[in-house]
Amino acid sequence: MWVAVWNQISPSFLYIVFILLAIRYNWRSKAYLCLTRLYSSKFITTKVSLKSIFDVKREDYIFRATPLTFDPSIVDIFIGLSSSACLVTFSSTIRQSPKLVAGVLADSRCTVVQMTPSFYRQIRGHCLLNSVQTLIFGGEQFPYADKDLMSLIENGKKLINIYGITEMSCWASYHFVTLENLRTGRIPIGEPLNDTKLTIKPSDDCLSLFDLLLESDTRWTQTGLHNDKQIFSFATNDIVEHDNGSIYYVGRKTFTQKRMGVMVSVEYIEKTALQSNLVSECGGFFKEDGTLILLGSFTTDDGPSKLSEYLQTHLPPHFIPNKIRRSYSNLPLNENGKIDRSQLARLYSTETDEFGLDIPLIIDTIWKEILHKESDNTANFISDGGNSLLALTFVENLRSQSKTIDSTRALDILLHNTKNDLVNYLKMGKQVENNVLNEPKDYVSKENIHQLDEIISIQRCSKIFVHNYGEKMFEYCLSLKEHGIDIKHKRITKATTKTTELQLKWKSSLEKCIDASPLIVIINDKQQLVIVGSHAHLLNAYEIENGTLIWSFKTNDRIEAGATLSRTGEYVLVGDYSGMLYIIDCHYGQLYGTYQCGGLIKTIPCAHRLLDLVYVGSHDHYLHAINIQNRNSTCVWKYFLDSSCASSPPLSADDSCLYVATLKGEVYSLDANTGICKWKSAVSKPIFSSILVWNELLIFGCVDQNIYCLNEKTGEQKWYLSIGGPIFSSPSAVYDITLDRVLITFGCHDKKVYAVQIIHNQPLIAWEHSFESTVYASLFGFERHDQWLTIAASTDGCLQILDTHTGKQCFEQQEIRLRRPYGT
């Protein structure tokens, strides 16, 4: 955040002042009061100099790639204002998606672009620079040359390396990059801007390197808003080389550490790695024990080993990383577009793709521990005395060594192939090609399936799913007790004594607003998780019993919809405002894969019960069917809805049809396998409520103050019921044991919750319960001590547990008030 004002300080001079709350590389904010003196006779300022250097004219379009917390934004804005050029800006949501950024850059035909090298590396594969006349890189080491940068100069356009710090009004020097610079990889920081002096002094850490200082007689900085000291000279904390009169950036002292008696710069290692053309981006860091790690996005399967060989011949011995690992997602960038060094260690702990150990030895050790016998490479796990349950234990032991193992593939190979096949698979990082693996997946034999524990997931609207590993996922609702379905309650922790009031057991901060419904995952007696996302881009998994944080995953943008569990129970699926669907390992919180939609996601993904398909609605007006079997998730089909989708799609009981409602007020029935529309129905206003599939009926609420019921097969309207206000809440089917009936419950904008019974195909309000505020949240039915209860919450933070039979509070004090309102 910044403020610019003109101030008459003395008769001789004018000053321009701006206050900048800068977000530093370590995520700590710092306030700077920056002042530049202006001669009254000449308008000689940094922005005027840069305007001339960048050659900005009235007809130009300036691409503002950085947020306001990064000072280059101020340069972009001032230059745009002073030249009457058009400033192209976009939201933080778009900034998190390389494809969307590339789309803005292409559609706006920007001519002047200033960005960090890391930001450029992430978007360059998605865009062309045809319209760009001036491309400026700053804030980090200049990127290694590629054909696009070469072509830019060959076509007479400007490529500029710019250097500076916040304390010097952002930039202090510049250099017009030449083809020779790109060929040699030697790009100087260039000539100082007006009224700026570059000073070097020998570094205390290395005799051949220098510390860089910046000085100015006309620009000063006051650090903090309550400090009167004016500073005209600044230590940059950067290390540079000096050669033939030119200064070359080497790296920041912060990213330099003494190793084997020699100061090692991770930025220099990154630069060398990028010159190999084996990685599209990379980031290095030191672990606490001094281990040097290099993470990279490799262009080939054998990239890590080839890069290791390359670095051996291009770096001194003390610069060679201890470990080189593949990253399956983009390296984390901070808000300023630079590599977020603080997140690299976290990424490494969850996304390493190799053991870094002797794989055959690991396999032999686990094999012997589980089967208590030696074996040769041709041995089969089952033939050696193993079974499906032991195979799961084997794979979990493997995952403790390397968390990115595709456990589905590893289990399949272990059950059907040889030990050597498993070793080869782990070495190559991909599945062994054989006939068995190309068949439909039946990972566990029928005779052994009973040995496997199921994973249970519980979602909003009283939905419960049983995930049998490798088998069909089974879904049932608490309302279906009359159908003979029984819940294995023994695996779910229950209170041993009755209480007469709600008591807060634990709480945890997710930093910002929580709109998403929590997902409960019961893995076994000891692992019972609650997984929930927030507007702070966080998806956290907590231990239900005590609130211990098990893992935390950072998304591109805020999360508004709940998560779901994949068919096998291995992965958590969640979407965010960047339009990204994330596939996250349920046990460890590591990223397995992603799928990019064209608009934000506000729906809970729907998992197919038999196939590795997931369905998700988006604000790009499409319903997407996605195959998540591989890391590179693919679109099987997508259907154009002609409107945004905020209603989470459900499947029919036999998985043949998918139902989805839109903000245009239309309801679709789509073939789940092909995406072909079977029928379409419409109501008068938008539908936010998700559809309840019950007893061959589709039931949903609408903002037109009605709850509707359609025939599942034809879309014909069976009935509707008018209520006292708009309905955003999703209906839930709950069981009333007293009268042996099913009730449809939902909340309403009229500050009430309703229970509706269907008698002779017509709705009848069984009971209603009043709150002091509107009810957007969906209701949840459950059984406790042989009593069927319903939990409801309103937007003023009131949480109540009601008797499902009467709608009354069960106990006098059984409500808890929270400071945050409940969403849907």
Q: How far apart are CA 335 and CA 27, in angstroms?
A: 9
Q: Which are the contacts of 243, defined by CB distance < 8 A and separation ≥ 6?
A: none
The enclosing domain of 382 has a CATH number of 1.10.1200.10
Confidence bin at 376 (pLDDT 50/70/90): confident
d(CA 572, CA 589): 8
Half-sphere exposure of 680 (CA within 13 A, CB side): 11
Residues 146 and 66 in one domain: yes
Question: Does the structure show a pLDDT above 80 at 308?
Answer: yes
CA torsion, ordered 622, 627, 346, 26, to nearest 10 deg: -20
Cα–Cα distance for residue pair 636/726, rounded to 1 Å: 35
Distance CA 391, CA 525 (A): 20
Among residues 391, 423, 451, the one where a domain terminates is 451
| pLDDT of 818 | 53
Asked which of 180-194, 222-236, 439-453, 471-485 is least confident by mean pLDDT, the reply is 439-453
592 vs 597: CA distance, rounded Å: 17
**Long-range Cβ contact pairs of 224-231 (< 8 A, separation 24 or more):** 224/30, 224/31, 224/33, 225/19, 225/31, 225/33, 230/35, 231/167
Residues 6 or more apart whose Cβ sits within 8 Å of residue 526 = none
Shared domain for 246 and 326, answered yes or no, is no
How many other C-beta atoms can be found within 10 angstroms of the C-beta atom of residue 545?
11
Are 380 and 373 within 8 A, CB to CB?
no
Q: Is 397 in contact with 461 (CB distance < 8 Å)?
A: no
Q: How confident is the model at residue 769 (pLDDT cuts 50, 70, 90)?
A: very high
Q: What is the pLDDT of residue 10?
A: 41
- E strand or H helix at 754, and its extent? strand 752-759
pLDDT in tens, 499-541: 456 778 888 888 888 989 999 999 877 789 999 999 999 999 9
Listing DSSP states for 562-631 in one string gives --EE-TTS-EEEEE-TTSEEEEEETTT--EEEEEE-SS---S--EE-SSSSEEEEE-TTSEEEEEE-SSS
Q: What is the pLDDT of residue 811?
A: 56
Q: What SS3 state is found at 135?
A: strand
Shared domain check, 267 and 240: no
Per-residue model confidence (pLDDT) at position 223 = 52
Q: What is the mean pLDDT of residues 164-177?
A: 82
With a cut of 50, say whether residue 438 has pLDDT above it.
Answer: no
- 3 state SS of 234: strand
pLDDT greater than 70 at residue 368: yes
Residue 509 is assigned to a structural domain of this protein: no
Which pLDDT band, with edges at 50, 70 and 90, does 420 fall under?
Answer: confident
Which pLDDT band, with edges at 50, 70 and 90, does 199 fall under? confident
Same-domain status, 11 and 160: yes
| Contact criterion met (CB below 8 Å) for 287 and 295 | no
Q: Would you state the pLDDT for residue 1?
A: 35
Does 247 lie in the same domain as 283? Answer: no
* DSSP string for residues in 693-752: EETTEEEEE-TTSEEEEEETTT--EEEEEE-SS---SPPEEEEETTTTEEEEEEE-TTSE
Burial class (CB in 10 A: 0-12, 13-18, 19+), 814: middle
DSSP 537: S
State percent of the chain over pLDDT 90: 26
- Give the least confident one: 12-21, 547-556, 609-618, 762-771: 12-21
The per-residue pLDDT for 29 is 44
Buried b (16+ CB within 10 A) or exposed e, 739-761: eebbbbbbbbbbbbbbbbbbeee
Residue written as tokens 């789509």? 670
Helix, strand, coil % (nearest 5) of the chain?
A: 20, 35, 45
Q: Which residue in the block uniquely carries the two structure tokens 């933080």?
A: 92
CA distance 48 to 467: 64
Quickly tell me which residue has 């998560």 as its tokens: 563
Say yes or no to pLDDT of 621 above 70. Answer: yes
Residue spans of beta strands (DSSP E) within 397-548: 455-459, 463-467, 474-477, 519-522, 528-533, 538-543
In terms of domains, do 176 and 241 share one? yes
Task: Decide if pLDDT at 757 tops 50.
Answer: yes
pLDDT in tens, 485-495: 344 433 444 44
What are the φ/ψ torsions at residue 209 (nearest 5 degrees)? -115, 170
Rounded mean pLDDT, 334-363: 69
Per-residue pLDDT tens over the stretch 228-261: 555 567 788 888 888 888 999 888 877 888 776 6
pLDDT at position 447: 36
CATH code at position 305: 3.30.300.30
Beta strands in 460-587 (DSSP E): 463-467, 474-477, 519-522, 528-533, 538-543, 549-554, 564-565, 571-575, 580-585
In a domain, 435, yes or no: yes
The overall average pLDDT reported for the chain is 79
**At residue 154, what is the residue type?**
E
Q: How much of the chain exceeds pLDDT 70, in percent?
A: 79
Q: Is the pLDDT of residue 497 over 50?
A: no
Q: What is the pLDDT of residue 819?
A: 43
Return the CATH number at 135: 3.40.50.12780
In this prediction, residue 451 carries a pLDDT of 40
pLDDT for the residue numbered 6: 41
Q: How many domains does the chain have?
A: 3
> Which string of DSSP letters, residue by residue, matches 3-44?
EEEEE--SSSEEEEEEEEEEE-TTS-EEEEEEEEEEETT---
Pairing state between β 741-747 and 538-543: unpaired
Cross-strand partners of 297: 281
Domain assignment present for 602? no
Q: Print the domain residue range for 333.
A: 260-351
Question: Which residue from 419, 415, 467, 404 is spatially nearest to 437, judged by alpha carbons?
Answer: 415
DSSP result, 614-661: EEEE-TTSEEEEEE-SSSB-EEEEEEE-SS---SPP-B-TTSSEEEEE
Whether residue 627 lies inside any domain: the answer is no
pLDDT digits 0-9 by tens, 634-693: 899 999 998 889 999 999 988 899 999 999 999 999 999 889 999 999 998 899 999 999
264 plus 132 within the same structural domain: no
Residues 240 and 265 in one domain: no
Residue with tokens 């000063």: 220
Is 490 inside a domain boundary?
no
Cα 398 to Cα 413: distance, rounded to the nearest angstrom? 13
Q: Computed over its alpha carbons, how large is the radius of gyration of the chain?
A: 30
- Cα 551 from Cα 542, distance rounded (Å): 7
Q: Please give the single-letter amino acid code of residue 612.
A: D
Cβ atoms of 56 and 8 closer than 8 Å? no
Ranges of beta strands (E only) in 206-353 are 210-215, 219-223, 233-243, 246-252, 256-259, 262-265, 279-286, 292-298, 323-326
Q: Which amino acid is at 613?
A: L
* pLDDT, position 331: 80
Q: Are residues 55 and 84 in the same domain?
A: yes
Q: Which of 414, 434, 451 is the last residue of a domain?
A: 451
Q: Are residues 304 and 203 part of one domain?
A: no
Q: What is the DSSP letter of 380?
A: B
Neighbours of 365 (CB within 10 A): 13
The least confident of 35-39, 263-267, 318-322, 328-332 is: 35-39
Whose tokens are 């309302």? That residue is 479
Cα(550)–Cα(532) distance, integer angstroms: 12
Neighbour count for residue 685 (Cβ, 10 Å): 14
Q: How would you label 561-578 residue by residue, b for 16+ Cβ within 10 Å and e otherwise?
A: bbbbbbbbbbbbbbbbbb
Can you tell me the distance from the alpha carbon of 455 to that of 446, in angstroms, rounded to the nearest whole number?
A: 18
Residue matched to tokens 């991909």: 430
Same domain, 344 and 369: no
What pLDDT score was predicted for residue 705?
A: 93
Do 442 and 413 reside in the same domain of the chain?
yes
Residues 57-96: pLDDT tens digits?
A: 899 999 888 777 677 777 888 888 888 889 888 877 677 6
Residue 231 forms part of a structural domain = yes
Beta bridge partners of 288: none
pLDDT over 90 (residue 712): yes
What pLDDT is stored for residue 47 in this prediction?
Answer: 61
What pLDDT is attached to residue 816? 54
Q: Give residue 401's pLDDT.
A: 65
568 domain residue, yes or no = no
Using the predicted structure, report yes or no on whether residue 616 has a pLDDT greater than 60: yes
Burial class (CB in 10 A: 0-12, 13-18, 19+), 797: middle
Q: Which residues pair with 498 in a beta bridge?
A: none
Among 253, 268, 296, the domain boundary falls at 253
Does any domain span residue 670? no
Q: In what order do the strands lie in the sheet with 233-243?
A: 197-202, 210-215, 233-243, 246-252
Distance, CA of 794 to CA of 778 (rounded, Å) = 10
